[in-house]
Structure 1
Amino acid sequence: MTAPLVLLDLDGTLMDSAPGITASAAHAFRALGLPVPDAGTLRSFVGPPITDSFPAHGVPPERVMEAVTAYRAAFTAGGMYDNAVFDGVPEVLTELRDAGCALVVATSKPEMFAKPICDRFGLTGLVDAVHGAPPDEARSTKADVIAAALDALGRRSPVAADDGPVVMVGDREHDVHGAAAHGIDCLGVAWGYARPGELEAAGAVGTVDDVAALGAAVLARI
């Protein structure tokens, strides 16, 4: 039988990436001469494609790509590395691989950023692949990223029972909805950036409160 597949979100699930993302988003608002949202709003930028977040928080549609350019200037200048792996994540990834799971990062972050970040913070060697959005993430949803990951692995969508079990792990509603588009259950994590009740309302099959409990929770689902 095909090995169980665990799809893993990056920001807010494996890594605390809020500092770099929020600072880069704030820079973009200032560069456009627009009011900088409050800290709570900036925190909501972690997870969804930024091309969704900017228009949702005051950037006129015709200026979204200008905001993206400003964001990326700050992000590539150092913001992309202003983050940290959550305590206990390497041990959980090792636990899941030892249990025979295939581990694949599936993130809305553009792949050109996701791969070097995973390299820098030692995650690449703990997973089997890293998949992110294309450079123009305006054309990519979480469902698209998952589709690309499944295709690269030779897996069908919607996922079929004889392909082996598949579960998504993420911290935002976008992870839940993206997984559901392929018939995949999503297990939510409480240490990320979701609003209270967000994961449950989106249809997550469960929520894990502590990183140390994630391995057992995933194995119970596959």
Structure 2
Amino acid sequence: MSAPPRLILFDVDGTLVDSQGDIVAAMTHAFGAVGLPAPARADILGIVGLSLPVAMARLAPELDAAAHGRMVEGYKDAYMDLRALAGAAQSSPLYPGAREVLETLAAAPDVLLGVATGKSRRGLDKLLEAHDLRDLFVTQQVADFHPSKPHPAMILAALAETGIAARDAVMIGDTSFDMDMAQAAGVRGIGVGWGYHPRSALSAASAFIAAFAELPPLLDSLWESVT
């Protein structure tokens, strides 16, 4: 009997690409726009994956919604400027092994790839274009149209778009928000060891990898456990 189709969803920042330099710089600009010093680097990276309004409210809870809105716009403007200076492929490089594994997985006849990211539609489009990855992901869920992670809306939409059952899907990410989102959606989460949250924070993960090369054999093992 042939295997059912599978859906592999990826987070982007901290999972596929390392964008921490631009994230920290843009957040520093956003705080400067409201006359505040930037939070510590670890605190900034700790909110990666959340939608920007939620991230600003978490980092600056003493400010009102209007100030958070100015910070969001300041962040977006600074991030776009930084990316324009260096180019998206340089400012947000792929992690080692990412392209090879993505292409290997995409070549399998029973596998669909997707993304579930806190990035905007515009930001994701620019990044995928820069890395020539646009055609690999059949479902692309972005922050413009969903509640912030860890709400399961992104994953549920991806499952609905592709017609894949939750038991035949996985979510791969580097933060607790990704793993909690996966758990809430009823899919298995795979945590990665090279991103922005420590492994100890990924308590909801079903499995963990330390390098991209470990992903294909892990997926084979996971699929066998549900057939």
Which category of TM-score, normalised to the shorter sequence, fits these structures?
Answer: 0.7 to 0.9
RMSD, matched Cα: 2.0
TM-score (norm 1): 0.86
1:151 corresponds, among 160, 173, 182, to 160
Give the percent of matched residue pairs that are identical in Structure 1 and Structure 2. Answer: 29
Gaps of 5+ in 1: none
Gaps of 5+ in 2: none
2:106 equivalent to 1:105: no
The correspondence of residues 23-102 of structure 1 with structure 2, limited to 5 A, is 23-59=25-61, 60-62=63-65, 63-79=67-83, 81=88, 82-99=91-108, 100-102=110-112
Residues 88-110 of structure 1: per-residue CA shift (max 9 Å, x gap): 11111122123331111111212
After TM superposition, where is structure 1 displaced by more than 4 Å over at least 4 residues in a row? none
**Aligned-partner Cα distance in 2 for 1:155–1:213:** 24
**Aligned-partner Cα distance in 2 for 1:6–1:58:** 34
Residues 54-97 of structure 1: per-residue CA shift (max 9 Å, x gap): 22222513221111011111122234822111111111112212
Q: Secondary structure at the match of 1:122?
A: coil
Q: Which residue identity lines up with residue 26 of structure 1 in the other structure?
A: T
**Aligned-partner Cα distance in 1 for 2:27–2:222:** 36
How far residue 195 of structure 1 moved from its aligned partner, in angstroms, is 2.7
1:9 corresponds, among 11, 21, 25, to 11
Contact 2:15 2:195 in 1 (8 A): yes
Contact 1:21 1:45 in 2 (8 A): no
Contact 2:173 2:190 in 1 (8 A): yes
Q: Which residue identity lines up with residue 148 of structure 1 in the other structure?
A: A
How far residue 4 of structure 1 moved from its aligned partner, in angstroms, is 0.9
1:128 corresponds, among 130, 133, 138, to 138
Contact 1:90 1:126 in 2 (8 A): no
2:27 equivalent to 1:18: no
The correspondence of residues 193-208 of structure 1 with structure 2, limited to 5 A, is 193-199=196-202, 201=203, 203-208=204-209
Contact 2:115 2:140 in 1 (8 A): yes
Q: 1:50–1:12: structure 2 CA closer, same or farther, 3 Å change rule?
A: same
Tell me what 2:190 maps to: 187
**Aligned-partner Cα distance in 2 for 1:5–1:106:** 12
Contact 1:167 1:221 in 2 (8 A): no
Contact 2:50 2:148 in 1 (8 A): no
Residues 175-205 of structure 1: per-residue CA shift (max 9 Å, x gap): 1111112210101000111134001x2x101
Q: Secondary structure at the match of 2:177?
A: helix
TM-score (norm 2): 0.85
